[in-house]
Amino acid sequence: MYRYPDNPIITRQDIKSRHPALQDVSSVFNPGGVRHEGQFLLLLRVQNRARETFFVKALSEDGIHFSSSDLPVQILHLERCKHMIYHIYDARITADTAGFYQVFCAMDTDKGCFLGYFRSEDFDSLDFIGLASEPDTRNGVLLPGTDYRFERPNKHVGTDGVKTGSRIVCSKSRDMLHWQEVAEVFSGRPHYWDELIGSGPPPLLCEEGWLHIYHGVATHFGSSNIYQAGISLQDRERPWITLARGRYNVLEPRESYELSGQVPNVIFPSAAIALSDSHVMDKDTPIYIYYGAADTAVALAITTPAELIAQARAE
Ligand code: BMA
């Protein structure tokens, strides 16, 4: 992956809103993203100085220069949730065939963190359909055109005294609300770069399989967890089968905007937009990956399936 040289592409100064709660905000990060009517659309996670969370829509012709809406996204039908909701954040977006977008978000409630399922047509509003997980799971990503989703239960499974290895699991549903675990995808690798893990953007399909970008957290450094991006290649038909998994991370905090901020040392990839209209990408298709940098700003990295597959297979 190559960083866009003028990163970060969206910072808190870019959020110019008419909404009274969005004046002089603290941070903008971890966007969901999708192609929408020929434009690049990001659903930005914006935090204000009350540390309240909002979504703000941003649009761009070229995927680099975004302009954000002057009002936050309205979230409709939240009364369907019976719990007290504190934050809704880290949207993962996929298009469906009916012209709607499916959105999974982490929802912090008084009963723990759930995946919330939303639908939208235009991202001026998000329609809350319901909670779509057991308590305590995050990073839910649909595999477009299938009934499968990857998710990351928050429980740690390390047995060796090292705080380690959340698992990514593949689950299946017919209605987007009720999900049954099918199989484990993989778990964290204690002592190395990806001890704790979670899916990044919804996986992208190419001839070789699903390109699955994920974040890994190294927890064994004294003062700070290090969040990095990595890649695995998953089987096309049975996506829980891992065909290749990178030994190395593909992006780690190195630049000042990744090393310092609200949470230092964080690269959190959450959206990937391929510059192609076909369902199955060619190897050389540019892919724009949007990531949260230090939970403070949005940055862009550019890659191709060929490069990601090479990294997934790197010895
Ligand atoms: C994760 C989530 C993300 C956040 C990351 C780094 O656990 O809370 O939203 O970006 O930590 O702080």
Q: Residue 71: its pLDDT value, please?
A: 97
Q: Indicate if ligand 1 lies below 6 Å from the C-beta of 292.
A: yes
- Give the list of residues 6+ apart from residue 153 with CB closer than 8 angstroms, or none: 134, 136, 137, 166, 167, 169
Average the pLDDT over each of 68-77, 164-173, 204-213, 232-241 and give the range with the smallest value.
164-173
Alpha carbon of 312 to ligand 1 centroid (Å):
24
**Residue 254 · residue 269 · CB < 8 Å:** no
* pLDDT beyond 60 at 162: no
Alpha carbon of 200 to ligand 1 centroid (Å):
11
Q: Report the alpha-carbon distance of residue 107 to residue 104 in Å, rounded.
A: 9
Q: Indicate if ligand 1 lies below 6 Å from the C-beta of 268.
A: yes
Alpha carbon of 207 to ligand 1 centroid (Å):
32
Average the pLDDT over each of 35-49, 161-175, 200-214, 245-259 and give the range with the smallest value.
161-175
Q: Indicate if ligand 1 lies below 6 Å from the C-beta of 263.
A: yes
- pLDDT tens by residue, 11-67: 999 999 999 999 999 999 999 999 999 999 999 999 999 999 999 999 999 999 999
Residue 213: both structure tokens together: 């970008």
Average the pLDDT over each of 136-145, 207-216, 230-239, 250-259 and give the range with the smallest value.
136-145
Q: pLDDT confidence of 165, banded at 50, 70, 90?
A: low
The mean of the pLDDT values for the chain is 94
Q: Indicate if ligand 1 lies below 6 Å from the C-beta of 54.
A: no
- Ligand 1 atom with the smallest distance to the CA of 106 is 9
- pLDDT tens by residue, 226-248: 999 999 999 999 999 999 999 99
Q: pLDDT confidence of 99, banded at 50, 70, 90?
A: confident
Q: Residue 16: its pLDDT value, please?
A: 96
* pLDDT beyond 50 at 146: yes
CA distances from 93 to 26, 34, 171, 232 (A): 24, 6, 17, 20
Alpha carbon of 63 to ligand 1 centroid (Å):
24
Q: Residue 163: its pLDDT value, please?
A: 46
Q: Residue 153: its pLDDT value, please?
A: 86
286-301: average pLDDT: 98
Under DSSP, the state recorded for 123 is S
* pLDDT beyond 80 at 266: yes
What pTM, to 2 d.p., does this model score?
Answer: 0.96
Q: Residue 156: its pLDDT value, please?
A: 59
Q: What is the CATH architecture of 2-312?
A: 5 Propeller (2.115)
* pLDDT beyond 90 at 161: no
Q: Where are the beta strands (DSSP E) in 38-166?
A: 39-47, 53-60, 67-68, 74-76, 85-95, 101-109, 112-120, 125-131, 137-142, 148-153
* pLDDT beyond 80 at 198: yes
Alpha carbon of 51 to ligand 1 centroid (Å):
14
Q: Indicate if ligand 1 lies below 6 Å from the C-beta of 240.
A: no
For ligand 1, mutation pick of 197, 266, 270 (most atoms within 8 Å of CB): 266
> For the chain, what are the domain ranges?
2-312
* pLDDT beyond 70 at 158: no
